[in-house]
Amino acid sequence: MIGLFAKAGSTIVTGLVGAVAWDGVKKAAETGAVRESAVTTVALGLRGKRRVEAGAERVRLATGDIVADARQRVGEQAPPPGADIAAHDHEH
């Protein structure tokens, strides 16, 4: 009989903890804390994406400079930026 009361007590405590947690989530949602947190997270992601893109652009430009210098050393003339090097025999 005592085991039954222990199990019932444990179930009641678990239910109370769940109810308190649920009330906390509802209050956070009502105050806009969840939305504010989501907006902050997305803003940080966008900033990180911009930094990665800027870094990739710097690498692309540095690589282009290195290739142009190498071509100059071997006597080739580097094509102007944006020039289509490969001949295309089809439409895009």
| Backbone φ and ψ of 60, nearest 5° | -60, -45
How many whole angstroms separate alpha carbon 66 and alpha carbon 72? 10
**Is residue 68 assigned to a domain?**
yes
| Residue ranges making up the domain that contains 65 | 49-75
How many whole angstroms separate alpha carbon 3 and alpha carbon 31? 42
Q: Which residue has the tokens 């989501």?
A: 38
The 10s digit of each residue's pLDDT in 44-81 is 999 999 999 999 999 999 998 999 899 989 988 877 76
**Is residue 64 assigned to a domain?**
yes
**Is residue 2 assigned to a domain?**
no
Q: What's the domain count of the chain? A: 1
Residue length, the chain?
92
For the cut 90, the answer to whether the pLDDT of residue 19 exceeds it is: no
**Is residue 69 assigned to a domain?**
yes
**Is residue 66 assigned to a domain?**
yes
**Is residue 35 assigned to a domain?**
no
**Is residue 54 assigned to a domain?**
yes
How many whole angstroms separate alpha carbon 92 and alpha carbon 84? 13
Mean pLDDT of 4-23: 80
The 10s digit of each residue's pLDDT in 82-92 is 666 666 666 76
**Is residue 18 assigned to a domain?**
no
